[in-house]
Amino acid sequence: MRSLDVLDHVPVGVFVLTPEFKVSFWNKVLEDWTGIERGDVVGQDVTGALPHLREGRYAGRLRTIFEGGPPAVFSAQLHKHIVPARRRSGEPRLQHTTVTPLRDEDGRVSALFAIQDVTELTKRSRQYRELAAKVQAVNVELEGFAYSVSHDLRAPLRTMEGFSVALLEDYGEAIGEQGRDYLGRIIDGSRRLDSLIRDLLLYSRLSRQEISITNVPLDAVVREVVDRLRSYLNGELGNVETQTGLPHVVANRLTLVQVLTNLLSNATKFMHPDREPQIRVTAERRDEGWVRVWIEDNGIGIAADHQERIFKVFERLHGDDEFPGTGIGLAIVRVGMERLDGRVGVESVEGEGSRFWIELREGTP
C-alpha cells in the first residue's frame, strides 16, 4: 500500500480495512488522534483496535463495499466515534466518516475509511441554531413593539389632530388669529410625527421581514409607481419620461415598488423653483449581469460632501420650512436594496439636479 503514503499528508484520518477485517493502512493523522501507532495496528485484526466494526450495523455495510457496492456514509449524529479519537483537551472528536471501495492491481476490494473531525463544525452549527432562535424571538418581540407603536402612539396623534381640526373649524373665529396659528402648529406637528412613526415602522419592518426574490418586469413596476404618485399628487407629478422596453430584474416586487416610490417622490420634492420639473427613468445593462436603473431630475442637486450621508436615518439637508419630510426615505431605499442584494448610489451637482441609481441582477423576460 505504498501508493497510499500520500494520505499521511491530508487533514483527515484514513485507514484501510481488508475483506478479512485486517487493517492494511493507518495514516499519521490517526496516530495523532488515537495514540495508536501504525506498527501496532497494521496487519492486525480490527477486533483489537476497533471491535465495533464487526458488529451487525457496520459489518453488513462493509461486506457490501467488499463486494464492490456503493460508498457508505456514517454521520456524526449517529456514528460519533468510528475510531477512539480525542482532542488535546481530552474531548472526544465527533467524526463524519465516508467508506469507499478501494481496488488493488489484482481487483481485490478493500474499504477505505476517510474520517473528518467535525467537532468544531458541529459546535458552530449548534451555536448558529441557538443564535437563530434568539433572533427569531427578538423579531417576534419587535413585531409586538411595532404594533404597539403603530396603535398606541399613532391613535393619540390622530385624536389630537382630529380635535384640533374640529376646534379650528367650529371655533376658529372665536379664538382669534393667534389661536388659529397655535392650532395650525398642533395639526402640522401631529401630522409630521405621524409620518415619522409610519416611516420608522416601515424602515424597521423592511429590515426584518422575510421577502421572496422573483423575476420582476421593471416596465410594469415603474408604470405602477408613476401612476400611484400621479394620483397621490393630484396629477402634479411634473413631466416624467420613462424609457420603453425596460428589462426584467431579480427582486421582490413590493420592496422594489417602495424603493422606486421613495426615489421618485424625492425627485418631485426637491425641485428647483426656477425650472419646470423634469424626471427621467432609464435602465442600462452593466457588466456581469447587472442592470442599473437611473432616476434623474433637474432639481436643486446635492453637494458632493453630502452624497453618502443622505442614505442614513434622520440625515436631512433642509429644514421642514423648505422641504417637509422625515429624513428616513433614502434610508428605506438603502435597506431595501440591501435586502434585494442590490446597490444604490447618486451622482449629483448642486444646483443642477441629481441622478440616483439602483443596481439589480438582470432577470429573464
pLDDT digits (tens, 9 = 90+) for 347-360: 887 778 888 999 99
Q: Are residues 56 and 75 in the same domain?
A: yes
Among 33-37, 59-63, 272-276, 329-333, name the one with the lowest average pLDDT.
Answer: 272-276
Is the model more confident about 275 or about 342? Answer: 342
What is the domain extent for residue 50?
Answer: 2-117
Check which CATH number belongs to the domain holding 324 and give it.
3.30.565.10
Check which CATH number belongs to the domain holding 34 and give it.
3.30.450.20
Residues 237-265 have a mean pLDDT of: 87
Write a three-state SS string for 54-97: HCHHHHHHHHHHHCCCCCEEECCCCCCCCCCCECCCCCECCEEE
Give 162-197 pLDDT, tens digit per residue.
888 888 888 888 888 888 888 888 887 887 777 777
The residue among 177, 210, 243 that closes a domain is 210
Q: Are residues 195 and 66 in the same domain?
A: no
Q: Are residues 292 and 311 in the same domain?
A: yes
Res 317 pLDDT > 80: no
Q: How high is the pLDDT of residue 218? A: 93
Distance CA 82, CA 184 (A): 79
Q: Are residues 151 and 246 in the same domain?
A: no
Q: Are residues 88 and 182 in the same domain?
A: no
The length of the chain is 365
Q: Are residues 226 and 364 in the same domain?
A: yes
Q: How high is the pLDDT of residue 186? A: 87
Per-residue cell: 147: 404594533
Residues 269-284 have a mean pLDDT of: 82
Residues 220-239 have a mean pLDDT of: 77
Residue 1 pLDDT grade (very low, low, confident, very high; cuts 50, 70, 90): very low
Among 237-241, 243-247, 264-268, name the one with the lowest average pLDDT.
Answer: 237-241
Give 39-56 pLDDT, tens digit per residue.
898 999 988 888 888 887
Q: Are residues 124 and 200 in the same domain?
A: yes
Average pLDDT of every residue of the chain: 82
Residue 14 pLDDT grade (very low, low, confident, very high; cuts 50, 70, 90): very high
Is the model more confident about 224 or about 207? Answer: 224
Of all residues in the chain, what percent carry a pLDDT higher than 90? 18
Q: Are residues 9 and 95 in the same domain?
A: yes
Q: Are residues 197 and 344 in the same domain?
A: no
Among 12-21, 204-213, 230-239, 266-275, name the one with the lowest average pLDDT.
Answer: 230-239
Give the DSSP H/E element, type plus range, for residue 37. Answer: none
Give 82-107 pLDDT, tens digit per residue.
787 766 667 778 888 889 999 888 88
Q: Are residues 193 and 265 in the same domain?
A: no
Q: Are residues 222 and 351 in the same domain?
A: yes
Residues 156-165 have a mean pLDDT of: 84
Res 58 pLDDT > 50: yes
Distance CA 291, CA 294 (A): 10
Q: How high is the pLDDT of residue 320? A: 52
Q: How high is the pLDDT of residue 284? A: 92
- Number of domains the chain contains: 3
Q: For 246, which DSSP code? A: P
Res 122 pLDDT > 70: yes
**Longest alpha-carbon distance in the chain:** 111
Of all residues in the chain, what percent carry a pLDDT higher than 70? 85
Check which CATH number belongs to the domain holding 206 and give it.
1.10.287
Distance CA 239, CA 230 (A): 10
Q: How high is the pLDDT of residue 316? A: 56
Q: Where on the phi/psi map is residue 340: left (φ > 0), alpha (ψ -120 to 50), or beta?
A: alpha
Res 272 pLDDT > 80: no
Q: Where on the phi/psi map is residue 323: left (φ > 0), alpha (ψ -120 to 50), or beta?
A: beta
